[in-house]
Amino acid sequence: MPATVTAPDPQPTALRPAVPPRTLRPGRRRGRLLAALSVLVACLLLFHRAVPNVFAHLGSLLESLLPWLGLAVPVLAGLALLRRSRVALAAAALPAAAWLHGFGGVLPPDPAAPHDLTVVQHNVSDENPDPAGTARALLAAGPDLVALEEVTPAALDAYATVLGRELPHTALEGTVGLWSRYPVSDVRLVEIRPRAIVADWSRGMRATVHTPRGDVAVYVAHLPSLRLRPTDGFGSTIRDESAAKLGAALAAEPLDRLILIGDLNGTVDDRGLGPVTEQVHTDRSDFAFSWPAAAPVARIDHVMARAATVVRAWSLPRTGSDHLPLAARIRI
C-alpha cells in the first residue's frame, strides 16, 4: 500500500496566537454597578416605608431627608456618561422617575390663590437675642394667626407688645402661644408630654378661634427634639410618643374645622408623625425647608388643617432663631 502523506500544518500549534476567553470589560462591570445603585435609590424613594425602623430609627432618618435623594440622579447620570455605559444611563432614569412621582408636584404655587386665613408658625428659640425684631418680621407677612414655640417669660412681653398691636387676642400655655386677629375662647392645655420627661413641660395647646367663616379649633404644639447619637442613632422615641398623644387629641376634637400649627420636629414623610398626618394635611407645592435656619434641609415646622385646605406654605426670612418662620394660607 502506498504511504499516506499528510499536508504540513501551515502554522505550528506552538506559534498560533492564543485566543483570550470572552470577558466582561471593566467599563461594563462598572455600568452594572451604577445601574444597581440607581435601582437602589429608586426603591428607597418608592418604598421607604419598607426600611425597618427597629434599628436606630433608620426609616425615620431616611424619610426626614427623602427629597435629597434626588441629588443622586445627576451624580449617577454623570458617572454613566463618564463611563460611556448605556445600561447605567438608562437605569438613572428610574430614580429620576421615582423622585418626580414623589416630589414632582413641588412647583412655584399661585400666590393669588383664594384663601381665608394667613397663618405664621415660628419656633422663636429660647435664646433669641431680638424678640421684638422677630415679632415685627412675622407681622410683615400679614398674618391672621401667629403661633410661637419656645416663648420664655423674659421674652413674652416683647412678643405680646409687638404682636398685640395687630393681633389683640392671645392664648398661652407653657412655652407655646397663639396671637389672633379674631376672638379666642376655650383655651386649654393639650397633654403631649412623654413619660420620660418628668419636669414641668407644657408644649401643647388648643383654642377655638371665631373667624368670619365660622369657628375653628386651633392646636399649637411643640414636639420633643430629635438627636442623632452614636448609641441609639436617630433618637425619635419620645418624639414619636408625643406625636401619638397629639394625634389622639386631634382625632377626639369635636369641631370639624381644625388647624394644627407647630414645630413637630419631623417631616410629613416621617412615619413617626403618622398619628398626626392621618388627621391633618398640608400643602406640598413648596419644599419650604425651615431647619436649620443657616442651611435649611427639612421642613419640620408645619401648618396643617382638617376640613380646610392649606393652599400655600412657604418659609420666611431668617430671624434670631435657629428655625425659619413658616407662613401658610388656608381656605376654609
Domains of the chain, by residue range, sit at: 26-103, 117-331
Residues 6+ positions from 211 with CB-CB distance below 8 Å: 116, 117, 144, 182, 332
Rounding to the nearest 10 degrees, give the CA dihedral for residues 286, 290, 294, 295: -50
pLDDT of residue 55: 73
CB 144 within 8 A of CB 117: yes
pLDDT of residue 107: 63
Dihedrals φ, ψ of 228, to 5°? -100, 105
CATH of 117-331, one of 3.20.20.70, 3.40.50.2300, 3.60.10.10, 3.40.50.620: 3.60.10.10
CB 146 within 8 A of CB 164: no
Show the DSSP H helices in the chain as ranges. 26-46, 58-64, 72-83, 86-91, 93-103, 131-139, 153-163, 237-251, 274-277
pLDDT of residue 198: 84
pLDDT of residue 48: 94
SS (H, E, C) 193-231: CCCCCCCCCCCEEEEEEEECCEEEEEEEEECCCCEEECC
CB 288 within 8 A of CB 314: yes
Does the bond joining 212 to the residue before it have cis omega, within 30 degrees of 0?
Answer: no
Name the strands in the sheet holding 214-222, side by side, starting at the edge strand that comes first in the sequence: 184-189, 204-211, 214-222, 258-263, 301-306
C-alpha cell at 269: 414623610
Q: How far apart are CA 304 and CA 70, in angstroms?
A: 25
> Helices then strands (H, E): number in the chain?
9, 13
Give the three-state DSSP class for 306: strand
Instruction: Tell me whether strands 227-229 and 233-235 are parallel, antiparallel or unpaired.
Output: antiparallel
Q: How far apart are CA 290 and CA 136, in angstroms?
A: 19
pLDDT of residue 24: 43
Mean pLDDT by 10 residues, the chain (332 residues): 56 55 53 93 94 82 92 94 92 94 73 89 98 98 98 98 98 98 98 92 97 98 82 77 98 98 97 97 92 96 97 96 97 94
pLDDT of residue 227: 72
